[in-house]
Amino acid sequence: MQHVNPHQVDPIEADKYVMRDDDSNIERAPHTSAPQRPGLKKIIQLFCLSLDHLSSGQFNIKMPLSRYTSINMLIAKYNSILDILSENHKKQLSFEKSLQEARRTAEQASVSKSRFLANMSHEIRTPINGIIGIARMLEDSPLSPDQKENVSILMDSSIFLSSLINDILDLSKIEAGKLEIENVLFQLDEVIELVKNTISFSAQRKRIRIFTENTSSIDTFLFGDHLRIRQILINLLGNAIKFTPEGGDISLHILTVEKSERVARIKFVVTDNGIGISDDNQKKIFAPFEQGDASTTRKYGGTGLGLSICKKLVELMGGKIGVTSTVGQGSKFWFELPIILGPAAENILPSIDRSAMDLVSFIREKEISILLAEDNPINQIVIKALMKKYSLMVDVVENGIQAIEAVGSGKYHIIFMDCQMPEMDGFEATKHIRNHPDVSISRIPIIALTANAMKGDKELCIKSGMNGFVGKPIDTGEFENVLRTILNPAPCPLPEAP
Ligand SMILES: Nc1ncnc2c1ncn2[C@@H]1O[C@H](COP(=O)(O)OP(=O)(O)O)[C@@H](O)[C@H]1O
Ligand SMILES: [Mg+2]
């Protein structure tokens, strides 16, 4: 037997040279096969290697039989466990693969479903808008009481259908990740006012009183998606009206929970004294298609989409939403949003001169109504605010097609028309209005609003049938001159200076 310093040889090779292991108690295998089989030391090293591989998820290092019969039993067991593990691992891999495939298929199906719903609701919206338009025209025509009743049912149903389609469209857009949150300048008071106007009719029908309280002490403009905030409020207030018996009370409270120089966390709380929601139902009503118990659903109808849309919108805007409620006593729905503070109102809105008082009192007396066609939301706010300073009543539309539709109501005295708008520009819309069969509409004064102070623009405005021209940003003096020219107010004495 050779005697070599073990530190100078590869440890795996070591047993070739010397058996220094304490293996005296281990029974050797029959002599014939012994020379090629590894000794105890090599077996231990191979074990370590195999276990290392095993711990990193590889089952490929199997143990060779050793020179010792009793250890070979252990090795055989170990190898068979390796086989089992390797087999299980293969099964798991194939299971994971099929799971991934199934997930991919499900995701694709969900995207296709959302896309289909989005397309379909869009397609359905067009004819519904047609139905609503015709119902409106019918409403304005001479009708017998029975016909009036039928038209009003037609109108209610189509408006309901349209809001349902909008909900489906919203949900499918949200699920397809296609819903974008806008960031435009708005005023909180205006949002509250519009929300109140929208829900007042259904509240009155059930003799429900609505109290609003704004203690947010926000006096600046805000940046955010006012349309979506409005949608959430209308949904929560709509639910409150729906689930509160006749003669109940509802309140909307707006407060600031946190305010820094640039951002405020604004909380909106809708409280009702209606039927309330059980603890179990409170947990599920924010999920799509979930409603309270079946009897509530039967009695009140609905799709269970409203709150899930609210939740998703609030979360898209970085906020949170929740409810506390007691069955039989009422519910308190709240949501909180971080909103970026904009400039102070006085920095945006021009002030009007005291000398304009004659014009203002004339406008008040005659209740002058303006239609503003303007697509840019910031311009809408600024121009509307300026018009309100002159006590003008203003309705806003966003493109030429809407302008033509709105002017048909015959309630406007002047149209202020942006020239560049999507769908139909101001020039085109003016030509349509000038061709209107009703002269009281076709002759309505139209003033162009345009940021393009290009030469020839004025000519283009006049050629398309407009009566005047105001540049953007609007100069108060120029605006006032246009109003004076068109309205020609009777002079009235200036108020005394203080
Ligand atoms: N103010 C409320 N009072 C009582 N229950 C409510 C109120 N708001 C919502 N719920 C419950 O939550 C459910 C889900 O509301 P929503 O998602 O708006 O769907 P829908 O109004 O179409 O049923 C309602 O069906 C109702 O059971
Ligand atoms: Mg609802």
Helix, strand, or coil (residue 287): coil
Q: How confident is the model at residue 496 (pLDDT cuts 50, 70, 90)?
A: very low
Ion ligand 2, residues whose Cβ is below 5 A away: 239, 306
Q: How many Å lie between the centroid of ligand 1 and the Cα of residue 225?
A: 24
pLDDT at residue number 478: 83
**Of all protein residues, whose CA lies closest to atom 18 belonging to ligand 1?**
306
Q: How far is the CA of 487 from the centre of ligand 1 (A)?
A: 50
Nearest-CA residue for ligand 1 atom 7 is 239
Tell which one of 243, 252, 273, 324 to mutate to probe ligand 1, the residue whose CB is within 8 A of the most ligand atoms.
Answer: 243
Q: Are 401 and 425 in contact (CB under 8 A)?
A: no
pLDDT category of residue 28 using cuts at 50, 70 and 90: low
Residue nearest to atom 9 of ligand 1 (CA): 239
Closest residue by Cα to residue 429 from 400, 464, 407: 400
Six token digits for residue 427:
């020039």
pLDDT at 324: 97
Distance from C-alpha of 268 to C-alpha of 282, rounded to nearest angstrom: 18
Highest mean pLDDT among 127-136, 196-205, 221-230, 236-245: 236-245
Query: Whose alpha carbon is nearest atom 13 of ligand 1?
Result: 291
Predicted local confidence at residue 211, as pLDDT? 96
**Of the ranges 77-91, 181-195, 442-456, the best mean pLDDT one:** 77-91
Around Cβ 232, how many Cβ atoms within 10 Å?
26
Q: Can you tell me which atom of ligand 1 is nearest the CA of 330? A: 3
Greater model confidence, 463 or 378: 463
Q: Are 182 and 230 in contact (CB under 8 A)?
A: no
Is the model's pLDDT at 451 over the cut of 80? no
Residue 4 or 58, more confident: 58
60-69, 100-109, 390-399: range with lowest mean pLDDT: 60-69
150 alpha carbon – ligand 1 mean position (Å): 29
Atom of ligand 1 nearest to the CA of 286: 17
Is residue 129's pLDDT more than 90? Answer: no
User: For all residues of the chain together, what is the average pLDDT?
Assistant: 83
Strands 249-259 and 369-373, sheet pairing: unpaired
Using pLDDT thresholds of 50, 70 and 90, give the confidence band for residue 58: confident
| Interval 21-36 mean pLDDT | 53
Pocket test for ligand 1, best of 202, 249, 277 (most atoms within 8 A of CB): 277
Asked if residue 194 has pLDDT above 90, the reply is: no
Q: Strands, E, within 345-480: which ranges? A: 369-373, 393-397, 414-418, 446-450, 468-471
Ligand 1 atom nearest the C-alpha of 270 is 1
pLDDT mean over 471-481: 81
Q: At residue 375, does pLDDT exceed 70?
A: yes
Q: Which residues line ligand 1 (CB under 6 A)?
A: 239-240, 243, 272, 274-277, 285, 291-292, 296-297, 302-308, 331
Mean pLDDT to the nearest integer, 319-331: 96
- Name the band, by pLDDT with cuts 50, 70 and 90, for residue 231: very high
Q: Which ligand approaches the C-alpha of residue 284 most closely? A: 1
**For residue 333, how far is its CA from the centre of ligand 2 (angstroms)?**
12
pLDDT, mean of residues 63-76: 87
CA 239–ligand 1 middle distance (angstroms): 6
Percentage of the chain exceeding pLDDT 70: 87
Residue with CA closest to ligand 1 atom 27: 292
* pLDDT given for residue 346 in this prediction: 61
Q: What distance lies between CA 68 and its chain's CA centroid?
A: 73
The mean-pLDDT minimum among 7-11, 26-30, 202-206 falls in: 7-11
Q: Are the beta carbons of 65 and 37 closer than 8 angstroms?
A: yes
Tokens 């951002």 -> residue: 263
Q: Which residues pair with 322 in a beta bridge?
A: 334
Q: How many Å lie between the centroid of ligand 2 and the Cα of residue 235? A: 6
Instruction: Report which secondary-structure segment, H or E, holds 433.
Output: helix 426-434
pLDDT score recorded for residue 486: 85
| pLDDT confidence band for 242 (50 / 70 / 90) | very high
Q: What is the total residue count of the chain?
A: 498
- Tens of pLDDT along 280-303? 999 999 987 777 776 776 777 777
Q: What is the pLDDT of residue 459?
A: 77
Q: Are strands 369-373 and 393-397 parallel, antiparallel or unpaired?
A: parallel
* C-alpha gyration radius of the chain: 38
| Contacts for 408 with CB less than 8 Å, ≥ 6 apart | 436, 441
Q: How close is the Cα of 237 to the center of ligand 2, in Å? A: 9
